[in-house]
């Protein structure tokens, strides 16, 4: 009897932890961190202080978790009405809004302190501005009112790249803003491909996502343009900025070619949900591998290997 109570209590505690964990929409965070890491490695010319990396990624995680938690509080009405989001902790009543808000404020405070003390004030302020932008501009102002919601709101998702650069250098440079732009321009193809698949869910709750308002054909055309601009932007890191080298260039061209190919296929088949799904899934691998390419390209060992290879040929 006692054992049962103990195990039940234990289970409840674990469930509480799990609910708070889910409030942070944890599956998106690793990719945000990879963009931060890519930016840090380029900024540090391949030699990142491991402690600074740990602090920045932890601070970034906490900031993103805070932003997502507040978003969950704000959107709990529509999240309840949509199939995909109905089982989130807030609409299903597992966490109360007040408790979630305290949790989010604590996360933001720890994030800011950690980054301000162990990185610098610019990195801390940028991460904090990411939370404010995501909540005020995207969640409150645009999400329910504009078909351009995710285009402008996407800027929040690109801020972690700035945080990474700022943590290393204490300033922002053209290359930092370019990595920001790459994530910013990538967001519409990433999200609209998914929005095509779950258009009806958004329509049901009156969220004016582009496929709901403008239809599939107009959406795939926008996806196509944004894909072309994104891939072009990735190359500017090599020329004229010279922030990355040939290894990154080869990776960006290869990955970009495939991105354009998949986006073209969607342009030809606007109503085909499998093609949309394929592009959505690829968009995630694309950003992940592109940023890993930035890291690998920046490493001193890569430079040594390239010099050795050139000497061998010459």
Ligand X SMILES: CC(C)=CCC/C(C)=C/CC/C(C)=C/COP(=O)(O)OP(=O)(O)O
Site for ligand X in 169-188 (CB under 6 A): none
Q: How far is the CB of 144 from ligand HEM (least distance, A)?
A: 13
- Report the residue number whose CB is nearest to ligand X: 130
> Which among ligand X, ligand HEM, none contacts residue 89 (Cβ within 5 to 8 A by kind)?
none
271 vs 220: CA distance, rounded Å: 9
Measured in degrees and rounded to the nearest 5, phi and psi for residue 268 equal -80, -25
- Report the residue number whose CB is nearest to ligand HEM: 157
Interaction between residue 130 and ligand X (CB under 6 A): yes
Can you tell me which residue has the tokens 């354009």?
A: 260
14, 28, 51, 246: residue in contact with ligand X (rule CB under 6 A): 28
CA angle 78–34–138, rounded 5-degree value: 30
Structure tokens at 195: 């929005």
Contact, 206 vs 252, CB < 8 A?
A: no
78 vs 145: CA distance, rounded Å: 14
157, 189, 270, 293: residue in contact with ligand X (rule CB under 6 A): 157
> Which among ligand HEM, ligand X, none contacts residue 242 (Cβ within 5 to 8 A by kind)?
none
Interaction between residue 67 and ligand X (CB under 6 A): yes
Site for ligand X in 81-100 (CB under 6 A): 85
163 vs 172: CA distance, rounded Å: 9
Contact, 37 vs 109, CB < 8 A?
A: no
CA angle 248–51–134, rounded 5-degree value: 70
Q: How far is the CB of 307 from ligand HEM (least distance, A)?
A: 33
Interaction between residue 134 and ligand X (CB under 6 A): yes
4, 27, 301, 311: residue in contact with ligand HEM (rule CB under 6 A): 27
Contact, 164 vs 39, CB < 8 A?
A: yes
> Which among ligand X, ligand HEM, none contacts residue 63 (Cβ within 5 to 8 A by kind)?
ligand X
Residues that bind ligand X (CB under 6 A): 28, 63-64, 67-68, 71, 75, 85, 127, 130-131, 134, 143, 156-157, 159-160, 163
């Amino acid at each position: 009897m006692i054992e049962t109570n103990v195990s039940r209590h234990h289970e409840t505690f674990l469930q509480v932890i799990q609910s708070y964990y889910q409030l942070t929409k944890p599956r998106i965070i690793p990719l945000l961190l990879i963009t931060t890491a890519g930016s840090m490695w380029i900024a540090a010319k391949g030699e990142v202080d491991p402690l600074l990396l740990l602090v920045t990624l932890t601070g970034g995680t906490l900031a993103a978790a805070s932003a997502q938690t507040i978003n969950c509080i704000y959107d709990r009405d529509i999240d309840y009405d949509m199939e995909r989001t109905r089982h989130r902790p807030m609409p299903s009543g597992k966490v109360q809004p007040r408790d979630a808000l305290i949790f989010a404020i604590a996360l933001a405070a720890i994030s800011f302190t950690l980054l301000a003390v162990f990185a610098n004030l610019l990195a801390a302020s940028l991460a904090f501005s990411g939370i404010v932008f995501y909540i005020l501009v995207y969640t409150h102002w645009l999400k329910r009112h504009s078909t351009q919601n995710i285009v402008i709101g996407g800027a929040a998702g690109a801020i972690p790249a700035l945080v990474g650069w700022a943590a290393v250098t204490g300033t922002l440079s053209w290359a930092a803003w370019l990595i920001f732009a790459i994530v910013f321009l990538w967001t519409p193809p990433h999200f609209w491909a998914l929005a095509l698949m779950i258009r009806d869910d958004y329509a049901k709750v009156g969220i004016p996502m582009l496929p709901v308002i403008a239809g599939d054909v107009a959406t795939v055309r926008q996806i196509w343009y944004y894909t072309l601009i994104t891939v072009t932007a990735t190359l500017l890191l090599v020329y004229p900025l010279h922030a990355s080298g040939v290894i990154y260039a080869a990776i960006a061209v290869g990955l970009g070619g495939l991105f354009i190919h998949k986006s073209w296929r969607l342009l030809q088949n606007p109503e085909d949900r499998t093609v949309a799904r394929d592009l959505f899934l690829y968009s995630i691998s694309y950003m992940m591998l592109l940023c890993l390419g930035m890291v690998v390209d920046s490493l001193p060992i890569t430079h040594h290997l390239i010099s050795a290879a050139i000497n061998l040929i010459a």
